[in-house]
Amino acid sequence: MLSKNQIKFVNSLRQKKYREEHNLFIAEGAKIVPELLASGIKVKQVFATSAFLRQHQLDAAIERFEIKEAELERISTLMTPNEALALCEIPAYELDANALKDNLTLVLDEIKDPGNMGTIIRIADWFGIGNIVCSPTSVDVFNPKVVQATMGSIARIKIHFLELAAFIEEQKKVNAVPVFGALLEGESIYSKQLPSKGLIVIGNESKGISEELQQLITDRISIPSFSHFSQSGGEAESLNAAIATAIICSEFRRGQ
Amino acid sequence: MLSKNQIKFVNSLRQKKYREEHNLFIAEGAKIVPELLASGIKVKQVFATSAFLRQHQLDAAIERFEIKEAELERISTLMTPNEALALCEIPAYELDANALKDNLTLVLDEIKDPGNMGTIIRIADWFGIGNIVCSPTSVDVFNPKVVQATMGSIARIKIHFLELAAFIEEQKKVNAVPVFGALLEGESIYSKQLPSKGLIVIGNESKGISEELQQLITDRISIPSFSHFSQSGGEAESLNAAIATAIICSEFRRGQ
């Protein structure tokens, strides 16, 4: 049985200021909670149905609360609550400049939509991109909607919030990595030779890459449109930010 | 000034049964409404601010209602209403079997999420795939959330709702096209020779491609994961359906 204070506490974590105050975030569901339990993320509390708790061994350090579906509804952020909700410690990652040197890193310039952010984290995980650097103006990655959209990848990707211009300049100086950005008049990703290391800058959903960061791009790339193939009389103007990220990452990795 | 009946009528079109009854769908926003006005879609009514109406020439046959932002809020499906809302006729497309013969066509097996569906339509537009065939169990493409997620591409792509097994069998027999499906144990899309025609089957978000349709796939393909590159200690299990569609379409088109 959940107390009123517990319900209030869990629900407060939907807001960034309370997540920061308590250094906790919410993860939910019969698929995602077990992924977090098996990851390096520290799970502090689990609220779950008896069925879930029978099926999953929890470490003794984790506080567990067996609750009914109806109680889960009172703390869930999902439309359809799903067996378990976990409170997890927000991880603090050191940015290892050396690790970035020989790898691909995503740099997100003000991604605002939680679904896009979560999807991009999941894409990074699929394509083995271990670090993401976000502008401080990006949506918080521990927002419950982002966490859910990552489908567990939040536990595996190191995400950093930094001033991007300073970060990129530092990386160019110290590691001499190329800086890729999808821009108009960029070279087609299908014909350009793409290396296994470098920064890939992804712009905001409506504004694209900021003027300031555009100056720091060393390699302008673009995803060609084949819109004319369908003779539909018009042209698709753009791709969603997460979709563009997926196509670019696929293209970087396909030859490796 | 909007009447109560007008408000009620527009809001009723959020439901499929009223869209079907009146053969109308809603499209919104200062970017999407002009795209529909310029397309082959028949726009019947436009509710818009005076600023929007000054900037856009409307055909005389279109009923126009100049309204204030506050009134727009009462009929808008968006969190942030945006200058204009249009009621458009649902187009009826004939499936031209001949047109499919030499082109790529997407076949969607029960895509349920409106955001995914809209994004897939936008991807089809970008990659010049003029026809999409959906199972009758898929989300309605004239659902306002789908329309918004297409960013105008709904006006350019011909979408058909059909029983997929019969459709695929017919296409195999009449047009002898290959049928691609992303399945475990499929051949890597990065090494397989991909043609400029055929059906590409995309499965449901959680269940994938149904058993019945799997039997009809002629070419099993897969998107390789590079998850191990990041040494995060785990593996991304899957990609979102729209993301997988984007990567597959990109790979089909890149050599063309």
User: Is residue B182 pLDDT above 80, yes or no?
Assistant: yes
Q: How far apart are CA B182 and CA A167, in angstroms?
A: 38
Q: Is A205 on the interface with B (CB under 8 A)?
A: no
Q: What is the end-to-end Cα distance of chain B in Å, rounded?
A: 53
Contact A30, A84 (CB under 8 A): yes
Domain's final residue, options A59, A89, A119: A89
**Partners of residue A239 in chain B, C-beta under 8 Å:** 122-123, 126, 246
Residue by residue, DSSP assigns B63-79 as: EEEE--HHHHHHH--SS
**Nearest CB neighbour to A243, from listed B119, B234, B255:** B119
The C-alpha atoms of residue A160 and residue B30 are separated, in whole angstroms, by: 35
B226 & B133 share domain:
yes
- Residues A21, A130: one domain? no
In this structure, the answer to whether residues B115 and B216 fall within a common structural domain is yes
Looking at the structure, tell me whether residues B104 and B177 fall in a common domain.
yes
pLDDT at residue A160, rounded to an integer? 96
Span B107-116, pLDDT tens digits: 999 999 999 9
Closest partner residue to B230 (CB to CB) among A39, A129, A152 is A129
Q: What is the CATH number of the domain that holds B8?
A: 3.30.1330.30
A-B Cβ pairs (cutoff 8 Å, strict): 145
pLDDT at residue A1 tops 90: no
> Over the range B17-49, which residues count as b (16 or more CB within 10 Å of their CB) and which as e?
eebeeeebbbbbbeebbbbbbebebebebbbbb
Res B235: pLDDT: 78
**B139, B243: one domain:** yes
B137 shares a domain with B14 = no
pLDDT score of B185: 87
Range of the structural domain that residue B104 is part of: 97-253
- Whichever domain contains A189, its CATH number is 3.40.1280.10
Which pair of tokens denotes residue B45?
A: 């009514």
The residue with greater pLDDT, B96 or B169, is B169
Query: What pTM was computed for the model?
Result: 0.95
Per-residue pLDDT at A254: 96
CA distance B79 to chain A (A): 13
In A, which residues are within 8 Å of B255 by CB distance? 190
Domain boundary residue, one of B89, B108, B139 = B89
Is pLDDT at A233 greater than 80 in this prediction?
no
Within chain B, residue ranges assigned H as helices are: 4-12, 16-22, 32-37, 50-55, 69-75, 97-101, 114-126, 144-150, 164-175, 211-214, 241-253
Cβ burial, residue B1 (10 Å; 0-12/13-18/19+): exposed
Residues 42-101 of A with CB under 8 A from B: none
Q: Which of A32, A74, A66, A70 has its CA nearest to residue A46?
A: A66
Q: Is B39 close to A127, i.e. CB distance below 8 A? A: no
- Is the pLDDT reported for residue A98 higher than 90? no
ipTM metric: 0.94
Mean pLDDT of chain A: 94
Residue of B nearest to A256 (CA): B226
Question: Do A111 and A234 fall within a single domain?
Answer: yes
B46 SS3 class: strand
Number of domains in chain B: 2
- Identify the residue with better confidence: A230 or A58: A58
Q: Are residues B147 and B35 in the same domain?
A: no
Q: In angstroms, rounded to a whole number, what is the distance separating the alpha carbons of residues A120 and A203?
A: 12
Residues B216 and B237 in one domain: yes
**What burial letters (b/e) apply to B161-198, b meaning 16+ CB within 10 Å?**
eeebeebbeebeeebebebbbbbeebeebbeeebeeeb
Dist CA B249 CA B200 (whole Å): 9
In this predicted structure, what is the pLDDT of residue A143? 97
| pLDDT for res B242 | 97
Chain B's closest residue to A118, CA to CA, is B240
**Are residue A171 and residue A75 in the same domain, yes or no?**
no
Predicted confidence (pLDDT) at residue A207 exceeds the cutoff of 90: yes
Q: Contact A233/B35, CB-based, under 8 Å?
A: no
For residue B32, is pLDDT > 90? yes
A64 and A120 both lie in a single domain: no
Contact B242, B233 (CB under 8 A): no
Last residue of a domain, one of B62, B89, B116: B89
Residues of chain B with C-beta less than 8 angstroms from the C-beta of A242? 243
Domain shared by A163 and A106, yes or no: yes
